[in-house]
């Protein structure tokens, strides 16, 4: 599969996921908070949703079916961004090239928007259209709760804040573990969701996702150094300014790039049982370290 | 059933629910955010959890079983309080007689604590111990998502903020609808959960819960006027200071009290199919308008 075809697939998935999210929000009351929710879930690469849809395809599940779980993870990811951007958290005023929710509306609206987007994620997974089997739906809910809560994403965020507050520079092992929770857990859930929808063993996709999640974060750290605020749509060189340990500060720029490439090979190797069927996921792994945003 | 026996049942339920929440949090990493989560879920009347446990008892479900759903609604309620108390929301520094989470820790920690408590609520409902049947668990998750999200609690909060921002004083109909979402939806979910756990028709408990939820909010407004900050453990006379419409400002103090009493009678009447078995829920309805906190 060529890179152009992959880009087309990524765009198609993004369009489908956005339509699902907008349909869910169209049912809601006409309030500023609803408008702000629509704004918060607009745009973005939809990489996590793409992983859900392509992972599910390996088990013969059509995108019309997997789009609900894909929309759920994008709602959850959007909640985490809206709250992360708050002045009392990372204090960012630019996201996907647009003013962040608390800048365009206000802090209180941003808190509510994040809260309601988290709820929407579980709502979308719990609805019968997500999967006809209640056992599969509850498996998706339970695993997403673990991935995103105090044993997953929030734990990573908490450790990040704790290190910053203490003014302590993390070691490579510590930052690897922190990122495995902070960004890795949702990426892992996304790639594993297809196997859950297919009621299959999650192990092969899990190995792919673990390598992919870490490669993704290393690429983020590289982008923070080499990236262009205009292309990334967010503030860059934040970590260096804050004196934070990153994969780049710990491994050097070349070392970080080499590690990311090795992880992508590892991710691709984990897909070997699926043959050519998994080409889109292979391309996704390469995309993760080649992206400019 | 006497009022003393009711108080004992309420205390027993609170103890059981707190133990469940602490057990869930004991599994989590030793981080400030975990400590703050424990703090946020400590104390309180546990009225919502009590409604779950007593509603479930009507369908022959033991408290050992219903405590998981009871703990879930208390985690969700605690999340809403932590976020509501933030400076960018209601800006309260006192809750249950103690400093609020953002005062004792900081705003960022309070955002994360609320986020993780919401996730914990869905996590607790999704675990097999909440109910052996996955269909019942997903029904609990789906209904809680509807009750707490942009079609329920958050919608009520959003309407409250919108009215305040516009400096508009709401009518009685508007405030009744607002409160049916803002506080009513979680109380309704709590009282209906027993029927969901029992795989029974939710209608009888739903009628009880709707009347109870409104009585609860009217009583809150009365407490805001007549209450004592020391007893309530929170700031009082906030609404009058803010010039906000309340049931008291719209109906007068005597009118509000009469309306609350009528709603309690309505709630009690809805329980007639259950006979003496529902005495604890009848007492709960009387307690709601007689409480001092």
ipTM of the complex: 0.94
A142 has pLDDT over 70: yes
- Indicate the average pLDDT of chain B: 92
Whole-number percent of chain A with pLDDT over 90: 78
Asked whether the beta carbons of residue A155 and residue B29 sit closer than 8 angstroms, the reply is yes
Give me the residues of B, 107-136, that contact A with CB < 8 A. Answer: 107-109, 111-112, 114-116, 118-120, 122-123, 125-127, 134-135
* Count of CA atoms in the C-beta half-sphere (13 A) of B37: 32
The model's pTM: 0.95
- The minimal CB distance from B28 to the residues A127, A141, A151 is found for A151
Structure token pair of residue B14: 């609170």
pLDDT one-digit tens code per residue, B68-117: 999 999 999 999 999 999 999 999 999 988 999 999 999 999 999 999 99
B235 has pLDDT over 80: no
Q: What are phi and psi of A95, to 5 degrees?
A: -150, 125
If 0-12 CB within 10 Å is exposed, 13-18 middle and 19+ buried, where does residue A104 land? middle
The helix (run of H) or strand (run of E) holding residue B63 is helix B63-84
- Tell me the nearest-neighbour CA distance from A30 into chain B, angstroms: 10
- The minimal CB distance from A149 to the residues B119, B134, B137 is found for B119
Using the structure block, give the residue that is written with the tokens 């958290």.
Answer: A89
- The minimal CB distance from A112 to the residues B106, B108, B157 is found for B157
Whose CA is closest to B49, among B19, B28, B27? B19
Going from the C-alpha of B15 to that of each of A250, B26, B41, B187, the distances in angstroms are: 48, 16, 12, 20
Using an 8 Å CB-CB cutoff, list chain B residues near A177: none
- Tell me the nearest-neighbour CA distance from B2 into chain A, angstroms: 39
Mean pLDDT of A72-93: 96
Could you tell me where the beta strands, DSSP code E, fall in chain B? 94-95, 98-99
Q: CATH topology for B3-290? A: Farnesyl Diphosphate Synthase (1.10.600)
Residue A240: predicted pLDDT? 66
**Measured in whole angstroms, how far is the alpha carbon of residue B140 from the centre of its chain?**
16
Q: How many C-beta atoms lie closer than 10 Å to residue B131's C-beta?
A: 24
Q: What are phi and psi of B91, to 5 degrees?
A: 55, 65
A185 has pLDDT over 80: yes
Residue A293: predicted pLDDT? 66
Asked whether the beta carbons of residue B159 and residue A31 sit closer than 8 angstroms, the reply is yes
Whether residue A196 lies within 8 A of chain B, CB to CB, comes out as: no
Q: Alpha-carbon distance B67 to B203, whole Å?
A: 22
Using the structure block, give the residue that is written with the tokens 């206000």.
Answer: A106
Mean pLDDT of B166-194: 92
With cut-offs at 50, 70 and 90, classify the pLDDT of residue B229.
low
Whether residue B103 lies within 8 A of chain A, CB to CB, comes out as: no
Going from the C-alpha of B121 to that of each of A17, A145, B141, B144, the distances in angstroms are: 26, 9, 9, 9
With cut-offs at 50, 70 and 90, classify the pLDDT of residue B1.
low
Radius of gyration of chain B (CA): 18
With cut-offs at 50, 70 and 90, classify the pLDDT of residue A28.
confident
Domain residue limits, chain B? 3-290
Whose CA is closest to B65, among B155, B7, B129? B129
């Amino acid at each position: 599969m060529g890179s152009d075809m992959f880009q087309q697939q990524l765009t198609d998935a993004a369009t489908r996921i956005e339509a699902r999210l907008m349909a869910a929000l169209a049912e809601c009351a006409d309030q500023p908070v609803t408008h702000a929710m629509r704004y918060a879930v607009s745009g973005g690469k939809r990489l996590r949703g793409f992983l859900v849809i392509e992972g599910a395809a390996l088990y013969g599940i059509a995108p019309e079916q997997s789009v609900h779980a894909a929309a759920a993870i994008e709602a959850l990811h959007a909640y985490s961004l809206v709250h992360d951007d708050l002045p009392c958290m990372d204090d960012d005023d630019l996201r996907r090239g647009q003013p962040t929710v608390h800048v365009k509306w206000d802090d209180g609206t941003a808190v509510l928007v994040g809260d309601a987007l988290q709820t929407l994620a579980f709502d979308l997974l719990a609805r019968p259209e997500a999967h006809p089997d209640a056992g599969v739906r509850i498996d998706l809910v339970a695993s997403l709760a673990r991935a995103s809560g105090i044993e997953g994403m929030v734990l990573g965020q908490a450790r990040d804040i704790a290190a910053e507050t203490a003014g302590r520079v993390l070691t490579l092992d510590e930052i690897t573990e922190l990122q495995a929770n902070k960004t890795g857990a949702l990426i892992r859930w996304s790639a594993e969701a297809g196997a859950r929808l297919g009621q299959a063993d999650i192990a092969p996709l899990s190995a792919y996702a673990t390598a992919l999640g870490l490669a993704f974060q290393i690429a983020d750290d590289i982008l923070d150094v080499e990236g262009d605020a205009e292309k990334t749509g967010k503030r860059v060189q934040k970590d260096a300014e804050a004196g934070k340990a990153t994969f780049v500060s710990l491994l050097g720029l070349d070392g970080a790039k080499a590690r990311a490439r090795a992880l992508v090979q590892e991710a691709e190797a984990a897909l070997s049982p699926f043959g050519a069927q998994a080409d889109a996921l292979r391309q996704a792994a390469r995309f993760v370290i080649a992206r400019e945003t």
